[in-house]
Every structure is written in C-alpha cells, then in structure tokens.
Structure 1
Amino acid sequence: MNPKSNIEMKKVLLKILFIFFPIILFAQNNYYDVVVVGGTPGGIMSAIAASREGKKVVVLERSAHIGGLPANGLGATDIATRGATTGLFREFVNHVLDYYIEKYGKDSEQVKVCSDGYHFEPHVAALVFEKMLEPERKNITVLTMRQFDSETKNVAMDGAEIQCIRIYNRDTKKWEQYSGKVFIDATYEGDLGAAAGVPYSIGREGKDEYNEIGAGRLYKLWLGPELEGTTNEGDGNIQAYNYRLCLTNDPSNRILPEKPKRYNRKEYLSLVEDVYTGTFAGVEMLSVTPEMQVANRRHIENGGTTQIPGDPWGIAKITNMVDLPNGKTDANNQHLALISTDLPEENWQWPEENWQWRDRFAQRLKEYTLGLLWFAQNDEALPKAFRDNVREWGLAKDEYIDNGNFPRQVYVREGRRLHGEHFFTANDAYPVAKGKRPPLYSNSITASHYALDSHAVHKREKGKIALDGFFNYQASVYTVPFGVILPKKVNNLLIPVPASATHVGFSTLRMEPCWMALGQAAGIAAALAIEQNKSVKELDIEDIQAELLKEKTTLMYFKDITVDSPDFEMVQYMGLRGYITDWVADLDGPMDRDTAKSWSTMSGITIEKFKGKSRRDILQAVYDLIR
C-alpha cells in the first residue's frame, strides 16, 4: 500500500472512531424506531401517533409521572376556539368527558363542570393519558425517572443525524443508552435539541426585529393600554414560572398549607397595601383616585371588603381560579395582581441550567407559593375578612398524594425556543385584515387558537402599576406550518414542544392543546421518515397531512365544517390550497362568478361547465380531478 493510500485509510479509521467512540463509552444499547425525550402531552401524543403507524417507540421521562402540566394542575384547557384543534387532543377531551359520565352519570354536577371534557382534575388527566397509551403498549415503552442532561457528550452524532443519546437512570444511578432512527424533543426546555447542536433563542426579541405587538420591554394593564416605561427593546429574560395549584374549599378534602421552613415574611408584605388600597393591575385602575383608595382603606378597617371596581378580594387577589369537577379549582397566577404565585426573575437561568439547579429552584418556588398562601391566611397585618376568605381554601388532599398534595412539576411556560425551518411570530397568529384569517400556510400541521399571552418578566418595580412583560392580545384561529417543528442542522430530530418561534409567537403556541397537535404531527412525520427512508426534512407535506386528516386533525379551521362532516377531508385539502379562504365553506351556497373564475385559474378546469351545481358539488369535482 502506497503512503498516500495509507494516509487515506487512517483518515477513514479516525472518522469511524470519532463517530462511534462516544457510543462505545455509553452503557448497553436500547434500540427503538423513535426515541421521545419528555413525557409531556406533546411527547405522549408523538408516541401514540408513531405507534399507530406501527413504529416501536420509547418515551423517556425524568420524573416518576408522565403527563406534564395537565396532570399537574393545568385542568382548565387553554383554547379560545373549541374545534380549532382536534386529532389526538380531541380524543383526550372525549376521554375526559367519558370518564366523568361513566363515573358520575351524564346528568351529574361533575359532568356539567367538566365542560364537555375541557376541565378536569389532575389525577383524571393522568388516568386519561394512561388510557390512551394502553392500546399502544405493544409498541410504546414508557420509562420514568430517566434524566437527559443537556450536554453534547450525551448525544452521539453522525454528521447531521443523532445516533444515540445517553440517559441517567435516577433509580439505579446508572447510565443508559438509547438509539433510534428518529428522535423527538418533547421537553419543555429544549434540552435534547440544544445538546444536538440546534441553535436556539432565549428571552425577548425587540420590536425592531419582527415588528410584533407586545415585543420586548412592556408595561401594560390587563385589558388596558401600554404604559410609560415601555421601550419594546429585546433582552435575554424569560417570563415567570409558577405552579398550577389544585385548590378546594371542600372541608372534607381540604388541607390548609403550613408555614414553610424557609418562610420570608418580607416577600409578601406588599400585598397588605394592595389589599387596603385596592391596588391591582387592571385597566380599571386608570379611574381609581387617591380619595377612592383612602375611602377603601377605611371601609376595610371597619370590617368591609374592597369597594374598588374590578379589584379581586380574598383568594382571588392572589390566584385566578377556574372551577374543576368535585369542588376543585385550577388556581393559576392572578393576572390582575402585582404579587401572586408567579416568581419572576429567579427562573431566568432555568432553560440552560442543569437539573440540580432546576430542582433547587423548584423547591424555592414551592416554598414561596406555600408561604404566600400561609401569609394570606394568617398574617395579622392583613384584614381579618380577607384572611377568612383565603382560609376557606386549601390543597386538595386526594391529589398528588405522594408529593404532599402539591403539584410535582413547575409550570415551565417557556424554555429554549429551538430554531426551525419556520420561525413563528405574532404576525402568524394575527389576521391579515379585519375579519380575515391570519397568514394561511399550505403546509399546516394543525390549526390552533389562543391569545398571545405572556406572564411577567420582572418583579414589581417602584412607581410602576403593571409588571414588565405581562400581556394578553387577542389573536385569531391560525395555521401552524410544518417548519415550526423541523429544527435546523439536525436531520432526524423533531421539536414539537420547544418549537421554533419568537417569544411573542411562542406565547400562543405554548398551550397544551397545540403542543399535543404538534406532537401528533411529529409522531406521524417520524413514522413516514422511517417508512420512506428519508430524513424528516425530505418528507412530502401532503403525505403528512393525509395521515393527519385520517386521524381527524383540523389543519384549517372552518366555522361550518367539523371533523365529523363527510366533506371534512375534501374541504381541508382545498382550503389549504386557497380555494376557500373565508371562515365558512358555505358548501350549500350557489357559485358566484368571481369564485368560479378564481377556481378555474387555480385548477385549470373550466368551472362554468358545472353550471347549476352547488359549491359542494363543484369543489368535490375539482378535488377529485386535481388529486
């Protein structure tokens, strides 16, 4: 062998060693078609969708329980238009409704309060996820207490593809290796994608970057105007986290919180003045005068309650509660409050920190939250009528029985936002004109709808009557392009949870119904990539959409067409291709001249020959011909 050939051979051997050395270091290999990191709802739906396509899937969840936030207090489903997001999310909702009907009867109070399956207790969400997974157990392996640490050494790459990942078994204290053809990052933090080299964003973009409403530094009253101090400048700071508490005022199921060991009374003292003066962060504060606040204080000191219009009282002053079945509530941060269960600023490190730091913050947040409740129930600086109201409420003792009746998981509203082939912005959720849709994406993998909604980035500041970063802007039902879950730089990874978006764009994508839908699309895309021996980026979007439509997934929302309509698939296909852009399909209506001309141009078919036919008949005929 000549010296030149010898050098080339050494290069090849070194390349092979470079690729496989990390794998050799890992523990025993576990091989699956699809490897899902994160037992969140997005991860669970990814697994179910891939399993239904016949693929072997493993779900690796760090905690002892799957289900993410719906199984940890987020029982009031965040969706503005029911029917906009369907598919596996709709199956989840239907299972919830069936649970309450079967257990309590169709005319029961529990069925009424569950609101057609959109409101549920934490343990019911956990049961429903398990029920949905049960028929797929032949293909899906769910492993809990499996921790992925977001470090490059825990991902073995071959060029632009992940070969395997290293996972820490928190029970055995040993490392494990998982290999697969396609990987799915379903973590709230974007840990896998970051370790694999996908670029990402953390924090807020400035308005000068994408011209988004609500961008950057922002002070805004709830349902009110933007205030002085708003600069719309970007920064690296993220919105606050909290726990979604499951509270009840049922004495037989109520546990009053105890004072935490590391209780700090000073953290909560500002609440006292807020109560007496009726200070809150709502638009009504613009009409509140100092004289009104003085009178309010006197009224409360004499045993009354607040007289300030719009000012929440008692437990509602510190939590925003939505009723759940069996006398429970989903108790979130109070958006009208200047101090509530959110803990801004202290979570800024979470997205990029290790799990040791995250666990410390989770404990700090738990103690802060319990301390707030204890203060509001017991501190004599607060008026007795206020304390008595708050003391009616406690933790539900039949929830989280292995965790002191406290949620097991922090509400991570936003972590890393991995960069994908499409960067979703606020403008993707806003109508292009009054009464019109937002931009329509022909490569849509789901429709969705929730307001642009962010919690505070900073704690209360002296002289400010609103918290920086808190906003809520109404959006319209929008379409989500496939590129949102297609990461840059890695060819066999999908990112349905740490999706590609700006801070403001992500503030609507981050709702669990949308995450479930993106997870379903990721599972189908993973299965198709394996079947077709392609990278996920080489897939034909029509193949993905065809499978999604078979599973009753709404890709484009119409007010007059449901998933149960016999015309559903046809209208979805034709709508995404621009044949129907209005909010209603109006299939029984007559064909007008302008629409006929437009359809003829798009299809190359002479629409006039269908004279006298309904829009349904003509659309179906064109659909049959162009398919």
Structure 2
Amino acid sequence: MKPTAGSLLLLFALTSLASAAPREVQTDVCVYAATPSGIMAAIAVKKAGHSVVIVEPSRWVGGMLGAGLKPMQDCPNYAATGGMTHPLLKSLGQPAEGPRLTTAQLSPKQIREDFQALLDKHGIEVIFEHRIAKCTKQDAALQTASFDLAPFDAQGVPPAEPTKRDDLRVSAKIFIDAGYEGDLLAAAGCEYRVGREAATEFDESAAGVRPVVQKTQIDPYRTPGDPSSGLLPLLQVDHGLPIGAGDQYTQAYNYRYYTTADPENRLTIPVPAGYSAQDYELVGRYVAYLAEIEPDPKKLRDRLVGIWPGWRNSQEWNYQRASLISMAPLGISQEYASGDYAAKARVWKAHQDYLSGLYHFMKSDERVPQSYRDEISQLGLDGRFHPETGGWPHQLYIRIARRLKGRYVIAEHDVYNRTQIDDPIGLAQYGIDTYPSRRIVVKEGDETFVANEGNMFVGGNKGPTNVPYPISYRAITPQTDQCTNLLVPVCFSATHLGYASARMEPVFMIAGESSGIAAAQAIEEQLPVQQIDMQKFAAALNAAGQKLHWDPTVDKSESPSSPKLDFATLLKQCDQDQDSLVCAGEWSVGKPGFDWLFTFIDADNSGQIDEKEYTSFQDYKAQNPKWREVIQAKK
C-alpha cells in the first residue's frame, strides 16, 4: 500500500516530536556550572562512589580561574586552605616539568586545560551549553531540573534567548548550584538576597551606601552648566539615600582581559555596534581635567592607563579603583544579579561594548595626548589566552549576584571573628573588598562634582581580617521548608559585606568540595542535606584534609610566594616593543605601583633597564631583606 499524504504528514509530525524530545539523564548528583567550585564538588562526589554530572552554561570549564583570575591572587594565607584546593592552588597552570612559573606567567588557557584533565581523570561528564530553565519538586525536594540549549556567541556572550527550550532534563538525588549567579537556587524556589543591606539589618558598620570617593570637579551635564539638559551618559541619578541605607546596587563587574602589541597575537578590538563618541563625553572631560592638574607627562600617562586598559594585576587587566573612570561600567551590575536571561545577556554585552568603545574613544579623542593615542593604537586583545572568542574572556567577573537566604548568614561579624561556628566546612580570609557601585553627581554649595560610591577595602593581612574565619555549613544549605536536597557553595548565604570578603575562588573551591562530601553523605543516610549527621560530616571533612579551625597560638600564616624573577620573566611582563629592554613606560604598565623603583634599577640613567641592571637588582634584594624600605628612604 502506498503511503497517503496524511500518513506522511503524521509520520513527519511524529518524527519531529521524537527529535524534539529532551535528553534524559539520571544521576546521583547534578552539579550546575563547571566553575572551580563545581569541579571540586563533582570530584568529591565521584571519590565517594556516587554518580555525578556537571551541566555548564558555556562551552568552557574553569570559571574565573579560566578567564584571567589567578589561583593564588586572592589567597592571602595559603595555610588556611585545605582539601583538594590546597595543592591545586599551586599546581594549576604550572608545567609538569621544569621551573615554576610566576603568577604573572600563568595562562588561563592552560588552567582551563588542567581543569578539563582533572575532570577526565575522574571520568566526570560535563554537558556544555545548557542553562537552567525550571525545576520540578515533590514537597521540598527537587526531582528534575530542565535545561535550555543556549550556546554563547562567537565573542563569549550568553544569548538572550535559547536555541532550544527544554533540551535536557536531569533527575538527581542531590543538586549543587555552583554557578556565580544562583540561577539554580532561584529556579528551585529558594529565597535569596540581592543588593546591599542597611547597616542596621545585621549590625554591620560598613554596610549599605558608603561615602563617595574620587570626588572630581568636572561638569556632569550634557550642556555644560545646564542641569536641565540632563546628565551625561555613564552617570546615575543619585537616589539620595543616606550613608548606611540599604539599596539595590551592588559592586561593579568587569573582564580580566589581556592585551598585546605583538602583531602575531594581537586581535582587533572591534568598534561596538551603535558606537557614539558622545556616550563617552564624561571620559573626555575627565581626561581634560587630568591634563590640567597633572603637568608631568609620565604621571599623566599613568592616570590615562587607569582609564584604559585599567590596572594590570598579574599581566591581565583589572578595574582601576583609584580612577574616577576605568575599564568597566558602573551602575548596571544590579540589573544582572536577579535579572532574567535577556537582562543578563544585555549586561554582559554592555560590558564588552563599553570596554571596546572606551578603547576607541581613548585612541581617537583629541583631548587624549597624541603620544598616548599612538601607544594604545598598537594594542589589541591577546589571542593566546582566549583564541575561541576573539580574545575576549569567556567569563565576565560576576563578583556578586544572588545570595541564598540560608540557615546562617555570613556577615561582618563573621569576617572579624566575632562569632562562634560549630559546623565549619572550611576557612575564609580576605578583607571586605567591594568595587564601586555607581557614579553620581555631588553638590557642595555652589560647586558640582562627579564621584564614585561603593568602593571599599577594609582589612587585609593586617588589622581586623588577619585571622581566618570559618564558613558555616548552614550557609550553603537552604531553609528546610524551601529545598531539602540543594547545596549552594558559591552563592552562599551572606550579606553584601560578608560576601565581599568570602567571595574568593579558593573559598568557593573549598566550599565546593565540602558540598560534594555532604551530598554523598545525604544520599547514603537518605536524609535532607539539613539533617545529615554532623559529627560524621566533620570526620569526613577532616579525612579529606579540609582545614576547619584556626588557632592563632598554633597555626602560622603562609603568604603566597613566587619564584625569583629573572630578566626573561621581566621581559614577558613588560617588554611591549620586543627590544629586550624595559623603558619607563613599559615598566609603569607592567609593574603598576612600582614607578619609584625604576630609577633605582636603571643604574646608568639610560631610561632603559637591561639584563645586567635587573640581575644586579635581584642580587641586591637577596642581600637586603628590607630593600623596599631602604630604597624608598633614599627618595
């Protein structure tokens, strides 16, 4: 019998439905996001003998450690780390043989490859390019998570809309949200925080709106002197709330990106769609202000570097907080924090467009000195580290987004070791570190200023944050009535201030491993994650080598160290024109904050540091432990 037109249509429809059916995965534990935390969690689950799968929204592993951040950059006390994190912090990105690399020499590409090798070693599958869409629950327990296929674009930006909805369904006994956004915890129906709490809410002295910084007397209006013309782009209307008040704002995001002048590796920084120099008029006025107050061309150049490319951290560029304007926009990160995927895509792309637009403005606006325009015109994105995305890092630095409203809230008092925690999963130690939240107009009598608000660093290795503090297990577990089988080792329960200290990758990694251990125990005990045997859990953490307590009378801090620098290393850091010499300008870019040292090393006053001079300086350092104080005293 010949098929009829109707039967063919029915067959086509059935075939289409079959092809559209989602992939079904059953596993003991589903980890969302292949961040360092998620990878540690998955390995811990696998070590415990349970099945695990990672679902990753992008097509890369490693999160921020694979996108420019270095493993030891935010680890002021190596002795406070434990578990798998402890050795990994010093091995990621390092060669298997030969001399160790300095922090500045580490490649995010190699770190991504190291993380992938670690996953391969443990036989852990990562399902890429899928993001959480919805969850099904029975009572308070997650049953299934549904994911949309949503590949990132050629520049590493997530899409507003998915390619295919409900493309993947994962059923699991335990779920772990290891993403930077807390999207899974939100889909699971857990309560969360965004923005900044008021100082009174958790009795935090530095919470909420902060005093302004970088107060600069430049005209903020579209028509100079005319407030009715409106504010220039890159400024936010001040909400007028007093210092200490809570609001929706949160600290800035940015890329940790690389540039180069080497034609072999240099990738063009594209002009963003819809670019208009008028959008950067505030930058032009700031440059003119700097040129007026800074007659020294070298010092002026240093200030311009702070605008674009920014602050060179360990070869990668970061936000320069000492500058009124730097390489990332302010006042939009709060739109990302709890926004939908369209909002997230818009904010992510806005960071890319702002950075590239700022570059084109700085190299073309006549208020920028010609010498600096010529200098940065030679730069492009360095294709060695992110070759698949045109040199753009695949991960935007999401410093803070949602924070779980868990059974314990990490706050300022925890950071200062004023609390007693009886259920630690690891230690944290860092200053309270927030980048600016917004840029506003400040009126003082008849005078008008532009200033930033939200920038703060409290503590550090000295002062109130010089002792590690414990992270509570309750901070990574939701309220029992909201979800009984979810763990949250990244967007854990914390205030804006508490998270500002605890938000470092080593802490996320430690919390990730501990969450994996907890997940395995919850499966074995067939209990909600909130009800596992805590004595047994503590024993398992100790067996895994986690550092759970810090006794200042016994434990000794260990600061990160790098191998002695040789001249070849210096050239890699600073020699932009590849002439095997380092001039003052190259030194300033490659060694920010050490301008005072250049003339000391440049013994022959040639304006160039050569190998002999740098080797002599290294010998001097080795013989003089207080070399810094001695040299600065001579200035």
Q: What is the TM-score with the length of structure 2 in the denominator?
A: 0.72
1:331-388: CA deviation from partner (whole Å, max 9, x where unpaired): 1111112211222222322233222332232222211111112222332221123334
- State which of 100, 125, 130 in structure 2 corresponds to 1:141: 125
Matched, 1:473 2:458: yes
Q: Which residue number in structure 1 is paired with residue 145 of structure 2?
A: 165
Q: Distance in 2 between matches of 1:253 and 1:31?
A: 44
- Determine the C-alpha separation between the residues in 1 that align with 2:332 and 2:75: 28
Q: Contact conserved, 1:276 with 1:306, CA < 8 A, in 2? A: no
CA distance in 1, matches of 2:496, 2:346: 25
Is 1:315 aligned to residue 302 of structure 2?
A: no
> Is the 1:263–1:368 Cα contact (8 Å) retained in structure 2?
no
Q: Give the C-alpha shift of residue 275 in structure 1.
A: 3.6
Q: Give the 3-state SS of the residue equivalent to 1:334 in structure 2.
A: coil
C-alpha distance in 2, partners of 1:229/1:179? Answer: 46
Q: 2:272 is aligned with what amino acid?
A: P
Aligned match of 1:611:
none
- Three-state SS of the structure 1 residue aligned to 2:454 is coil
Once the two structures are overlaid, the 10-residue window that deviates more, 30-39 or 550-559, is 550-559
1:561, CA displacement in angstroms?
A: 4.4
Tell me which amino acid in the other structure corresponds to 1:85: T
- Say which SS state the counterpart of residue 453 (structure 2) adopts: coil
- 2:74·2:506 contact (CA, 8 Å) conserved in 1? yes
Structure 1's 112 and 175: CA in aligned 2 closer, same or farther, altered over 3 A?
A: closer
Is structure 2 residue 477 aligned with structure 1 residue 486? yes
Counterpart CA distance in 1 for 2:293 and 2:187 is 58
Given the alignment of the two structures, is residue 235 of structure 1 paired with residue 247 of structure 2, yes or no?
yes
Which residue number in structure 2 is paired with residue 261 of structure 1? 273
Match of 2:78 among 53, 60, 82: 82
CA contact (8 A) 2:132 2:187 kept: no
Q: 1:73 pairs with 52, 55, 68, which one?
A: 68
1:114 maps onto 2:100 in alignment: no
Q: Quote the Cα distance in structure 2 between the aligned partners of 1:533 and 1:440.
A: 29
**In structure 2, C-alpha distance between the alignment counterparts of 1:536 and 1:428, rounded to whole Å:** 23
Distance 1:469 1:30 in 2: 44
| Aligned position for 1:378 | 364
Q: What's the CA shift for 1:132?
A: 1.8
SS in 2 for 1:83: helix
Determine the structure 2 residue equivalent to 1:603: none
Question: What SS class does the counterpart of residue 527 from structure 2 fall into?
Answer: coil
The one-letter code sitting in structure 2 at the alignment partner of 1:363 is K
| Structure 1: gaps (5+ residues) | 1-24, 223-227, 279-292, 433-438, 565-627
1:39/1:67 contact within 8 Å kept: yes
1:592-618: CA deviation from partner (whole Å, max 9, x where unpaired)? xxxxxxxxxxxxxxxxxxxxxxxxxxx
Aligned residue type for 1:122: P
Aligned counterpart, 1:528 = 521
CA distance in 1, matches of 2:179, 2:368: 41
Contact 1:71–1:125 (CA under 8 A) maintained in structure 2: yes
Residue 497 of structure 1 is matched in structure 2 by 490
How far apart, in 2, do the equivalents of 1:440 and 1:392 lie? 55
On the 8 A contact 1:58/1:141 being kept in 2, the answer is: yes
The 5-angstrom pairing of residues 435-474 of structure 1 reads 439-462=419-442, 463-464=448-449, 466-474=451-459
Distance apart, 1:497 and its partner CA = 1.1
Q: Does 1:516 align with 2:505?
A: no
| CA displacement at 1:143 relative to structure 2 | 0.4
Distance change >3 Å, CA 79–CA 320, structure 1 → 2: farther
Q: CA deviation at 1:181?
A: 0.7
Task: Give the Cα–Cα distance (whole angstroms) in 2 for the partners of residues 451 and 388 of structure 1.
Answer: 38
Is 1:367 matched with 2:353? Answer: yes
SS at match of 1:552: coil
Is 1:422 paired with 2:408? yes
Aligned-partner SS, 1:183: strand
Q: How far apart, CA to CA, are the structure 2 residues paired with 1:563 and 1:217?
A: 33
Shift of 1:57: 0.5
- Offset at 1:145? 0.9
* Alignment coverage as a number of residue pairs: 488
Question: Which of these residues, 193, 204, 218, is aligned with residue 212 of structure 1?
Answer: 204
1:56 aligns with 2:51: yes
The answer on 1:176 being equivalent to 2:180 is no
Change in 2 beyond 3 A, CA 1:249/1:316: farther
Amino acid at match of 1:178: V
Deviations 1:11-57 (A, max 9, x none): xxxxxxxxxxxxxx994531100011122221111111111111100
Give how far 1:563 is off.
Answer: 12
SS class of match (1:148): strand
- In 2, Cα distance between the equivalents of 1:65 and 1:497? 18
CA shift in 2, pair 1:381/1:202, >3 Å: same
- How far residue 230 of structure 1 moved from its aligned partner, in angstroms, is 5.4
Structure 2 segments unaligned to the other structure (5+ residues) = 1-19, 152-162, 215-239, 443-447, 460-464, 559-635
The percent identity for this pair of structures is 29
User: Which one has a larger percent strand, Structure 1 or Structure 2?
Assistant: 2
Aligned with residue 341 of structure 2, among 355, 363, 377: 355
Relative to structure 1, the CA distance from residue 86 to residue 342 in structure 2 (aligned partners, 3 Å threshold; closer, same or farther) is farther
* Range moving further from structure 2, 260-269 or 407-416: 260-269
Secondary structure, counterpart of 1:48 in structure 2:
helix
Cα distance in 2 between the residues matched to 1:38 and 1:543: 28
Partner residue of 1:193 out of 173, 176, 185: 185
Displacement, 1:89?
2.0
2:226 aligned residue: none
Deviation, 1:81, is 1.9
Match of 2:170, SS state, is: strand
Contact 2:53 2:127 in 1 (8 A): yes
- Is residue 274 from structure 1 mapped to residue 290 from structure 2 by the alignment? no
Structure 2 Cα separation of the partners of residues 525 and 495 of structure 1: 11
Distance in 2 of aligned mates of 1:441 and 1:466: 39
Question: 1:2-17, aligned counterparts within 5 Å?
Answer: none
**Superimposed CA distance per residue, residues 240-282 of structure 1 (whole angstroms, 9 cap, x where no aligned partner):** 222121233555433352322322323333333434444xxxx
Q: Does 1:94 align with 2:85?
A: no
Are the equivalent residues in 1 in contact too, given 2:132–2:148 (CA < 8 A)?
yes
Provide the TM-score with structure 1 as the length reference.
0.72
Code of the residue aligned with 1:210 in structure 2: it is F
For residues 349 and 450 of structure 2, the distance between their equivalents in structure 1, rounded to whole angstroms, comes to 29
Q: Which moved more, 1:176-185 or 1:471-480?
A: 471-480
Deviations 1:165-192 (A, max 9, x none): 1112347725221111111111211111
Letter in 2 for 1:496: P
Partner Cα distance (1:251, 1:557) in 2: 50
Superposed displacement of residue 161, structure 1: 0.6
Q: Is contact 2:307–2:327 with CA below 8 Å preserved after alignment?
A: no
Distance 1:202 1:379 in 2: 38
What is the rounded CA distance, in whole Å, between the counterparts of 1:500 and 1:218 in structure 2?
22
